[in-house]
Chains A and B, each alone.
Chain A
Amino acid sequence: MFALMAWRNLRQGGRRTTLLGLALAMVTGLLVLLMSLSDGVNDSMIKGATSLAAGHVNVAGFYKATPDEGFPMITETGKVKAVAQEAVAGLATVIDRHRGWSRVVSDAGSIWAALYGVSVEQEQRLLQTLRPARLGDYVEDLDGLDPDAREGDMRDLAEADTAMLFVTQARRLGVRVGDALTIRTETLRGQSNTVDVRIVAVMDDLGLMSNWSIFLPKQTILQLYGLDDDTTGAVMLYLDDIERAPQVMEQLRTAYAEAGFDVMEHDPRPFFAKFQTISGQEWTGQKIDITTWTDEVSFLVWVITAIDSVSALLITILTIIIAVGIMNALWIAVRERTTEIGTLRAIGMSRGRVLAMFLTEALMLGLFGTLIGAVGGALLAVGVDALAIPIPSQAVQAILMNDRLHLVVEPAEVLGVIVGFTVMCGLSALWPAARAANMPPITAIHITE
């Protein structure tokens, strides 16, 4: 009956309850949308990072022929892979890629790019993730070409001296499938070397990282840098559960040390940020560097932090406004129902029960408001994601790490928002509810006599 009283009192609040409930629903909906956006960016980042630049766990390292210069590569690829496969249970895939950094030149322009040398038969994950881009997205002068046509096939990377790049790069280089590029870099011995490659595929962008990632056949990289067959840039491990990455990293650290490898201290930065540190160290030879995917994209985490910070600020302000609104509404209700409170106290309702009655009203309002807002926000997020709305601005694409609006609804987070906001409503009501509970029962009987 007490819940019924709370519910009916809320309904009796009429416009005040409706407006407050709506405000609560809107703030909750907005929070769910912002969280979905943040999760979407996170998802894009994971997808981009773990497709283009890193495995869930990466066994890479540096080779130093002299103390002054380190090269991002490991020798004994076969043995490195074998240790990982033996030490880690729940491995989905193990691949290896060469890494490099070079100038890429076309007839129309040039860019700096990270090179990934791949064996296309290992790259099922990449094949499933990437999609050839529409000509209309990167060819300026279509001249009778179908803008919706998608040219090229990533599997052609099996042929020597080929390259796969992304829309933004193709636009900047003014190239399309079949055109030639010149890759220019320095070998391990400090000599300049170039190779001409043919573009076999131009893929849709996959977040910020596709701006500077170019894929070549492994053999082309070996040739370009003058490396042995048994070398690679990184052995990338994909796990059944990405959440296990930090634990697997620690496990591998022990396994490689026991297998006789010299393992570097954990440094949570991407490999290219470590050159200066490595060059300043005295050692020569091979050291193994084990990282998780988050380490390799740590330079991008600021985007998520920024989105989360802006969301937190916005939601905090709105939450304070709502909390004050709830408090105010409860104050009014307490004032309007002074006689009722006094009557209830006079007929034997305890202070605790009066407190609980007002808290129940606030919690009920909170629960209904947040439930409507959270469900509405989640449905809107799912709808927007399904529409895959293109993002026109490249700057926004870079920030959101996707060329389309991508929102991910995490049910546990939505539930957390509902619980959190409902509790906030209860806390906001504490003061007026305590005031009501402490009201002396004499208020029910006029003391004018």
Chain B
Amino acid sequence: MKPIVELMDVVKEFPLGKVTVRALRGVSLQIGRGEFVAIAGPSGSGKTTLLNQVGCVDTPTRGTVRIDGQSTSELAESALTKLRLHKLGFIFQTFNLVPVLDLAQNVELPLLLKGGLTRGERDRRVREIVDQVGLTEQLGQRPNELSGGQRQRVAIARALVTGPNIVLADEPTANLDSATGEQILDLMERLNRDQETTFIFSTHDSRVMAHARRLVTLVDGKISSDEATEAAA
């Protein structure tokens, strides 16, 4: 099967004062459609940098990143924006909801950016996805009126509303208590199963890793292990 995400010998370097930090040191990785993958590793191992390359919010210093067969380094900024809009969904550690919009509007935002849908169609899709994350009662509430878990559910709904091929989640449970974190992971797993959307999330929490069906471990910017987990069995 053709991989939906393909990294070939990806190197990412950052200038930091007079020194150059090598965050990724030749990472090669293939992820197939519908996988539920955790990128694990200690702090500073390059997890977020790796997600940034896959999410097309950053470009590698060397190497190739292909999303659904398309090399990101060949794309202009506007084409990368379109790629993010149409094929990727993002879930952030700090939720990153737009504070001046209510729940429904936050979820509707990517649909508006995508365009081509009537107001009725947008409303229907928003209600559907909000229903799936269990927040129908909170539709009109602003982010500051929601709990951390509810906010992350909104972020998940926002990431999924356009029907992306890949959802990237950077430490999605880091700011949540363990019970709420479990619920969020269960939700992500269910949506992955139901919609066959590829989920790639970074974590350093072993309880979170246990939910993944594939675990890629990074150490010092290199893949130290890449294996199927018990959950895959």
| A interface list, Cβ under 8 A from B | 1-2, 4-5, 8-9, 12, 339-340, 342-351, 353, 440-442, 444-449
Contacts and interface: CB of A to CB of B under 8 A. Distances in A.
A342 B81 CA distance: 12
A449 B57 contact: no
B58 A348 contact: no
B123 to A, nearest CB: 12
Given A442-B52, A449-B48, A344 B57 contact: no
Contacts of A353: 113
B48 A348 contact: no
A340 B57 contact: no
Interface in B80-105: 81-82, 84-86, 89-90, 92-94, 96, 98-101, 105
A444 B96 contact: yes
Contact of B100 (A9, A343, A442): A9
Contacts of B92: 343, 444-445
Task: Pick from A344, A442, A445, A447 the residue with the most CB of B within 10 Å.
Answer: A445
Given A339-B96, A353-B113, A447-B14, A347 B158 contact: yes
Q: How large is the interface on B (under 10, 10 to 19, 20 to 34, 35 or more residues)?
A: 35 or more
A357 B45 CA distance: 36
A446 B14 CA distance: 13
Task: Pick from B43, B45, B98, B105 the residue with the most CB of A within 10 Å.
Answer: B98
Given A347-B110, A349-B113, A442-B52, A449 B81 contact: no
B47 A449 contact: yes
A18 B142 CA distance: 23
B51 A445 contact: yes
Given A347-B110, A449-B44, A5 B100 contact: yes
A348 B81 contact: yes
B23 interface: yes
A170 B90 CA distance: 86
Contacts of B181: none
Given A445-B48, A445-B55, A449-B48, A346 B100 contact: no
B46 interface: yes
Contacts of B55: 346, 445
Interface of B: 14, 23, 43-49, 51-52, 55, 57-58, 77-78, 81-82, 84-86, 89-90, 92-94, 96, 98-101, 105, 108-110, 112-114, 158-159, 162, 170
A345 B110 CA distance: 11
A12 B84 CA distance: 29
Contacts of A448: 44, 48
Nearest to B44: A449
Contacts of B100: 4-5, 8-9, 12
A124 B116 CA distance: 68
B101 A5 contact: yes
A353 B89 CA distance: 19
A445 B52 contact: yes
A449 B113 contact: no
Task: Pick from B47, B49, B57, B108 the residue with the most CB of A within 10 Å.
Answer: B57
B82 A348 contact: yes
A350 B78 contact: yes
Contacts of B109: 1, 344, 347
Contacts of B101: 1, 4-5, 8
Q: Closest 5 A-B residue pairs measured CB to CB?
A: A348-B85, A8-B100, A449-B48, A343-B96, A441-B57
Given A347-B109, A442-B58, A447 B114 contact: no
Contacts of B58: 440, 442, 447
B48 A347 contact: no
B32 to A, nearest CB: 24
Nearest to A5: B100
Nearest to A349: B113
6 contacts: A8-B100, A343-B90, A348-B113, A348-B114, A446-B48, A449-B44
A344 B52 contact: no
B168 to A, nearest CB: 9
Contacts of A350: 78, 81, 113
